[in-house]
Amino acid sequence: MAASCVAVLVMAASLLLLLLVLWKRWRRGRADWHVIIVVLGDVGRSPRMQYHALSFVKSGFSVTLMGFCNSRPYDELLQNNRIQIVSLTELPKLAVGPHIFQYGVKVVFQSVYLLWKLMCREPAAYIFLQNPPGLPAIAVCWLVGCLCASKLVIDWHNYGYSIMGLVHGSSHPLVLLAKWYEKLCGRLSHLNLCVTNSMREDLAQNWGIKAVTVYDKPASFFKETPLGLQHRLFMKLSCTYSAFKACSEPLDPDTERSAFTERDPQSGVVTHLRGRPALLVSSTSWTEDEDFSILLAALEKFEQLILDGESLPSLVCVITGKGPLKEYYRGLIGQKHFQHIQVCTPWLEAEDYPLLLGSADLGVCLHKSSSGLDLPMKVVDMFGCCLPVCAVNFQCLHELVKHDENGLVFEGSEELAAQLQMLFSAFPDPTGKLSQFRQNLRESEQLRWDESWKQTVLPLVMDT
């Protein structure tokens, strides 16, 4: 009985406080040049929403960016006094009760908490919401928009229910509920953006939602890394990761040497080491939609080719990122006994990641969209650095990767191994296929995020 009374009192107090906040918001009015961006996830691992924030600021808006702050966002974001980052608290996973009960408690907590945090902010002209995750954020943001006269914009990166389906199966009650919710509440927004034409068509045909395609584009800092900066990065990483350390000591003790480069102590000139390994890079959130056993199997086949006498370079394979399956795959990697391949799995600082991509020889993407309708942003970033890519095939990949033009598309480990053999057969031959792909990327004159945003999003916002 006492517990019930306490619960009623807490609910009554919360309701009273909410009404007071509503009254304050109503009296103050809405700021027409203010935008609230909501990410019910890690802000530091949501580059597209960080780019939205920076683009709004450059167009004269002030921005409140709300989300979990588990990873460090870009310095440009942190140093901008027109962007306020509001950290959201993530409910720890409950250790009691069935899964559906745990999920229900989490949704209720996030609903009340997000509503409270939004109502405590200055009312905005627009609430920009990343989806997924959209449960319960879409309904909460719509309610706040109604109360504060803010217009809701949903940026569809994928479908949340399809990601849940990877874990629970497509017919699970939670997945079906999430799909119903997403389809119903997704129609409540004033404006919808999405990441591919395939998703735009699916939203229109199957969801009754009209969306505008806004392709991911690389930010200006994704570019080829000068050799001097490459050397500095390699020396920095060699302090922590042995794969970046030089295999042999230089004759001159004053010479700085990494696994890939060395710096002359007299002239300061940096050069690539003769016979250096090739640098292979992949990026991942270590989730079910990326099967890294494909890459590991391909690396085993590549290793066997070297042992059989093929003229191929050693490989350093760097897989960056955080996620739930990281330890599982690290265990698999630890079971391999490579002689000519080194695999490391660092988590890089935000500023070092573009430098690594701009220093690599080849990118590999194992992202298989849970819906088949979104594109891997890691490939966008790699292309921004003029880094050729081998990518596993799925439904709409052709909207980004052009086979045999800016990279190669594969179906499984056998095909990937054959591609690695072909691309590295005369490494580092400046006339080889790898160099040809890189030159094609240089000549493509890719549109960057800022220019693309001004052409697509800004007119929509101003019209709305």
**Residue ranges covered by each domain of the chain:** 32-42+50-89+108-217+452-463, 227-235+276-446
* Per-residue confidence (pLDDT) for residue 458, from 0 to 100: 95
Give the pLDDT band of residue 247 (cuts 50, 70, 90).
confident
* Averaged pLDDT score across all residues of the chain: 88
Give the pLDDT band of residue 94 (cuts 50, 70, 90).
low
Give Cα 379 to chain centroid, integer Å: 10
Range with lowest mean pLDDT among 1-10, 225-234, 455-464: 1-10
Question: The domain at 227-235+276-446 falls in which architecture?
Answer: 3-Layer(aba) Sandwich (3.40)
pLDDT digits (tens, 9 = 90+) for 323-382: 888 899 999 898 988 999 999 999 888 889 999 999 999 999 999 888 889 999 999 999
* Per-residue confidence (pLDDT) for residue 194, from 0 to 100: 96
* Per-residue confidence (pLDDT) for residue 9, from 0 to 100: 46
* Per-residue confidence (pLDDT) for residue 104, from 0 to 100: 76
CATH 3.40.50.2000 for domain 32-42+50-89+108-217+452-463, yes or no, is: yes
* Per-residue confidence (pLDDT) for residue 170, from 0 to 100: 83
Higher pLDDT, 241 or 135: 241
- Check if 32-42+50-89+108-217+452-463 and 227-235+276-446 are the same fold: yes
pTM above 0.75, yes or no: yes
Hey, which residues does 65 pair with through a beta bridge?
37, 85
Range with lowest mean pLDDT among 24-38, 105-119, 177-191, 421-435: 24-38
* Per-residue confidence (pLDDT) for residue 17, from 0 to 100: 53
Give the pLDDT band of residue 1 (cuts 50, 70, 90).
very low
Side chain identity at residue 71, one-letter code: S
Cβ atoms within 10 Å of 151's Cβ, excluding its own: 16
* Per-residue confidence (pLDDT) for residue 31, from 0 to 100: 65
Range with lowest mean pLDDT among 68-82, 248-262, 333-347, 435-449: 248-262
* Per-residue confidence (pLDDT) for residue 347, from 0 to 100: 85
* Per-residue confidence (pLDDT) for residue 304, from 0 to 100: 95
pLDDT digits (tens, 9 = 90+) for 110-129: 888 898 899 888 889 999 99
Q: Once rounded to an integer, what is the mean pLDDT over residues 298-325?
A: 93
* Per-residue confidence (pLDDT) for residue 60, from 0 to 100: 93
* Per-residue confidence (pLDDT) for residue 79, from 0 to 100: 92
* Per-residue confidence (pLDDT) for residue 45, from 0 to 100: 85
